[in-house]
Amino acid sequence: MNHIELVPIVLFVCIAYVIKVCMDALVRRHMVSTGGSEELVNSLLRDEEQRRRHSSLRWGIVLLSIALGFGLIQWFGWEDVTPGLVAVLAGATGLGNLVFFAISRRL
């Protein structure tokens, strides 16, 4: 892929993320300014913080499992893209998601 094609994609993602952040801030400000109960605002902020932590945990576990999948591919010396190689990566990703699910249920 050329870097020329990558720039518009990254620009679009950044613009979409900025719009999401601004809308979240507007919603929070609107809730506070309309006199929403302090308990509701604190609950929403706590839930958002917990979602961020779980998201970081999920991505960490999934990326670690994908790295282990790539490590297995390197260890076995597979060089061609075959269905088995793709299955190892898909299995590693699925295993990472299952590990996250098990950990998040305990939390």
For the stretch 91-103, pLDDT in tens is 999 999 899 888 8
What interhelical angle do 83-106 and 38-76 show, nearest 10?
150
Longest CA pairwise span in the chain (Å): 62
What's the mean per-residue pLDDT of the chain? 86
Domain borders along the chain are 1-36, 49-107
Tell me if residue 37 falls in helix, strand or coil.
coil
pLDDT of residue 41: 74
pLDDT of residue 1: 58
pLDDT single digits (tens) 5-35: 888 899 999 999 999 999 988 887 887 787 7
pLDDT single digits (tens) 27-63: 878 877 877 677 877 787 788 888 888 888 889 999 9
HSE value, Cβ hemisphere, 13 Å, CA-based, for 50:
8
